[in-house]
A = this chain, B = another copy of it.
Amino acid sequence: MAKEVTNRAENYSQWYNDLALKADLAEQSAVRGCMVIKPYGYAIWEKMQSTLDAMFKRTGVQNAYFPLFIPKSFFSREAEHVAGFAKECAVVTHHRLMNDPEGKGVIVDPDARLEEELIVRPTSETIIWSTYKNWITSWRDLPVLCNQWCNVVRWEMRTRLFLRTAEFLWQEGHTAHATSQEAEAKANEMVNVYADFARNVMALPVIIGHKSPNERFAGALDTLTIEAMMQDGKALQAGTSHFLGQNFAKSFDVQFTNKEGKQEYVWATSWGVSTRLMGALIMAHGDDNGLVLPPKLAPIQVVMVPIYKTDEERSAVLDKFAVLKAELEAQGHSVRIDDRDTLRPGFKFAEWELKGVPVRLAMGARDLASGTVEIARRDTLEKTTVPIEGLGARIIALLDDIQQNIYDKALAFRNANIRKCDSWEEFKTEIQKGGFLLCHWDGTAETEQKIKDETKATIRCIPMDSVVCEEEGTDIYSGKPSHRRVVFAISY
């Protein structure tokens, strides 16, 4: 095999890096903490984007674009938001370079200092709400439902490809509503859009829930989250949707005249997912041979590898492949014929396995003679020889089956790694084994913090969609009464 991948069991973290790098998804750039997203990785992100974008638009959301820069003073406006976001960020202080008078390249022109520093957006609530002030005067202007696809920067000390990078790509939706109820409903609708996308497109079984107050977005009254379990048993927060109340409306004085002619502050939500989803995709489904991509996100769904000794054999096989490719493409599937002449079939097999292509076909002279083809599925690594007759329909059914199977496998893994835990001693041991622990919690930030300090575990969410959690009990740590279990885990 061309590129060795570390075994998960041996070194999970290295396995992850190997997949990201060797499957050509991304790499570190010359700029500390900033990644380059390579064409193969970006093609997956584009599929995520276009699917999500269509889902957003079906809920009435429109795209727009707001400035990259935010005046420093905006971060002083919303008190909690400052604490949460105005810390590690990129600060623009000057607007000009000049030639070094000593001839050593270029230097910052000291005369070109900005009057007010600009912050590269870590998130855009402040600049967007300063804009909404101009857009909203009456109840007729509401709701405003905007989303933007953009880059954001949060200065991170320790970075990992996709999971934590100084610059990342994301979408951020920002909506404005006349009532609290409507805003809450929107925040809820969007977290459900994320869950739908995670489950049905990414094949990622996620738990929807509320964040505890400690873990809320800075400035939010409620944060809804989807939490996924990675193969090492850690949790990964895959998307969040915030009910922001009137906090930003008050900070930026966004009021509207209601139907009764009275002035009221506007109600807000914001919600986002990022290139972090790429990390989730790698870690949820990958195996020791490389990526395993759900067909709905695979840039190449079917790869065809010809096996031949002579030019005649080669062209006969390639002709067959071309017909099949046209048939599959006509039905919206993406196909690559790997006709590279300088590489052996075994090398190609390993490469496409590493890249997670769901279905691989191999065909040689003997297959041609017998009217068959070898078909390999990436998720189970099973190979079967099947008739060429009816192959198009078979492949299309197989892609559906793979999509479902990848989800089922991840779901079975997650379910096998969720367990109830009712004693503090047990918790301290069990949490180190990975997985989600369903435990009683007394609802206080104090207890949550103590558990975090002692075990690194946090409350990932207070599940919304899981009735089993509603029961009386006592807090695992404090022993105080509790009315429901919550999800504890160590997280990315």
Contact = CB atoms under 8 A, between A and B. Distances in A.
A491 B90 CA distance: 36
Given A82-B106, A108-B93, A63 B42 contact: yes
Contacts of A95: 88-91, 155
Contacts of A469: none
A131 interface: yes
Contacts of A98: 87
A306 B437 CA distance: 59
A62 B75 contact: no
B65 A169 contact: yes
Interface in A166-193: 167, 169
Nearest to A66: B36
Nearest to A69: B31
Contacts of A75: 97, 105-106
Contacts of A67: 29-31, 34-36, 167
A167 B65 CA distance: 11
Nearest to A95: B155
Interface stretch (A145-153, A280-288, A440-448): A145-153
Contact of A91 (B35, B36, B108): B108
A36 B124 CA distance: 12
A73 interface: yes
A366 interface: no
Contact of A105 (B39, B76, B88, B104): B76
Contact of A118 (B31, B38, B89, B96): B31
A93 B94 CA distance: 8
A62 B300 CA distance: 13
Contacts of A93: 91-94, 108
A291 to B, nearest CB: 18
Nearest to A144: B39
A89 B96 contact: yes
A58 to B, nearest CB: 14
B69 A34 contact: yes
A70 interface: yes
Interface string A5-27: 00000000000000000000001
Interface residues of A, number: 66
A69 B97 contact: no
B68 A97 contact: no
A96 B88 contact: yes
A119 interface: yes
Contacts of A39: 62-64, 146
A231 to B, nearest CB: 26
A91 B87 contact: no
A29 B167 contact: no
Contacts of A62: 39, 42-43
A356 to B, nearest CB: 17
A302 interface: no
A430 interface: no
A39 B104 CA distance: 46
Interface in A203-251: none
A72 B54 CA distance: 39
A120 interface: yes
B63 A36 contact: no
B29 A66 contact: yes
Nearest to A169: B65
B69 A42 contact: no
A81 B37 CA distance: 25
A66 B38 CA distance: 8
A68 B169 contact: no
A64 B90 contact: no
Nearest to A133: B30
A392 interface: no
A64 B38 contact: yes
Given A30-B127, A92-B92, 11 more contacts: A29-B66, A29-B131, A35-B67, A68-B120, A76-B104, A82-B99, A86-B97, A87-B96, A91-B94, A150-B151, A151-B151
25 contacts: A30-B130, A30-B131, A31-B67, A31-B127, A36-B65, A42-B63, A42-B64, A65-B169, A69-B90, A72-B106, A75-B97, A76-B105, A82-B106, A86-B97, A89-B96, A90-B92, A90-B95, A91-B94, A91-B96, A91-B112, A92-B92, A92-B120, A93-B94, A93-B108, A96-B155
**What 4 A-B pairs have minimum CB-CB distances, sorted nearest first?**
A76-B105, A34-B67, A39-B62, A37-B65
